[in-house]
Amino acid sequence: MVGQCKYYERKKIGPSVIREWEGVMSRQELDTLGVVVASSGFTSSCVQATLSSIYPIALVTIDGESEQNGHWTHAEEAIRGFVWNKAAEYFIGKLAVAKKHYDLFVVEQADPTKFTIQLMWDGQPLPLLQ
């Protein structure tokens, strides 16, 4: 596995990053999964470029900074999105991605629009690394 992390304050990652990443992947062993991680997310054209790539690539969106009342603050660390292409399915195997909402039983503090992504392997949640 090889990876690249991108941090853009407010700009989503575009397809040019995937085209560059395909150049990196072309020099890797055939059994290599490429992972691009971004805090700002990916444009739809970036996702399309990934889905059409012949190289195994996964895109991961994590919390970065968020704007609240005109101020930028660091958000909670969580996976917000996980997308992979057909070529990456060999590496992904029994991985599933599910939306996990925060504790809705604490009504005063819960926001049903807030969620993170839970990665599952063969039906079981993967533990978080601390």
The answer to whether residue 77 scores a pLDDT higher than 90 is no
The answer to whether residue 31 scores a pLDDT higher than 60 is yes
Crossing angle of helices 15-25 and 44-51, in 10° steps, is: 30
pTM of the model: 0.73
Predicted confidence (pLDDT) per residue in 5-14, tens digit: 998 877 899 9
* The pLDDT of residue 107: 46
What whole-number distance in Å separates Cα of residue 109 and Cα of residue 106?
Answer: 6
25 and 46 Cβ atoms separated by less than 8 Å:
no
128 and 120 Cβ atoms separated by less than 8 Å:
no
Delimit the domains of the chain by residue range.
Answer: 2-94
Which residue type is seen at 27?
Answer: R
What whole-number distance in Å separates Cα of residue 113 and Cα of residue 101?
Answer: 8
- 115, 119, 80: which is closest to 100 by C-alpha? 115
The pLDDT confidence band at residue 23, using thresholds 50, 70 and 90, is very high
